[in-house]
A and B are shown apart, each in its own frame.
Chain A
């Protein structure tokens, strides 16, 4: 079956712009988590959604927001982009509500802010 699909794969934006990233989980998976990956900080948790409800939020500024739709697809938005937002943004899905279960990650969206 299809894996976790993230679009777009690559994105270049200018400081001050906003961006929307999309994630389609594995069919039947209702839990979606987002992580930011940078060389210096590793994988840092952004959000977790289950059945359209945000269950957890990481320690990121309010410029980072997300949502989940009724078909479990998820989007995250970053407004007023800063150079430091350049990173690989990873989405992961799980069939269960609990986080004590294996995540399946997508290949990520590489965001470059110039």
Chain B
């Protein structure tokens, strides 16, 4: 089955700097790659997703890139703010009938 590796496990950046989180997946059939943000005491919230027919997607300060050949995808957050501090999870799904498989998460701390 699908396996998703996520790096780094913790990341500290200065406010205003960029943050990059990387994930690799094992199943070449995977075609849907969402990213979730989890704040303390809350459930994960979908922040952006990308499908395999697209190489990059942006939403304001957040962007996701996908390299299907290398089987990796990344989350880029620019101009980080303290409210970006949270745990971020990547996930992958190999078909519409298999469950989302999650990476183990990255704890991002934005230092003011």
Contacts and interface: CB of A to CB of B under 8 A. Distances in A.
Interface string B18-56: 000000000000011010100001111110010100000
B43 A90 contact: yes
Interface stretch (B59-67, B69-77, B100-108): B100-108
Interface residues of A, number: 25
Interface string B87-100: 00100010111111
- Interface SS of chain B: loop
B103 A100 contact: no
Interface stretch (A13-21, A42-50, A62-70, A75-83): A42-50
B96 A102 contact: no
Contacts of B42: 107
A92 to B, nearest CB: 8
29 contacts: A4-B43, A33-B99, A35-B102, A42-B89, A42-B102, A42-B104, A42-B105, A43-B89, A45-B99, A55-B97, A90-B44, A97-B96, A98-B97, A99-B93, A99-B96, A99-B97, A99-B98, A100-B32, A100-B93, A102-B34, A102-B49, A103-B34, A103-B100, A105-B36, A105-B43, A105-B44, A105-B45, A107-B41, A107-B42
Interface of B: 31-32, 34, 36, 41-46, 49, 51, 89, 93, 95-105
Given A33-B100, A55-B97, A56-B98, 11 more contacts: A35-B102, A43-B89, A43-B102, A92-B43, A98-B96, A98-B97, A99-B93, A99-B95, A101-B32, A102-B34, A102-B46
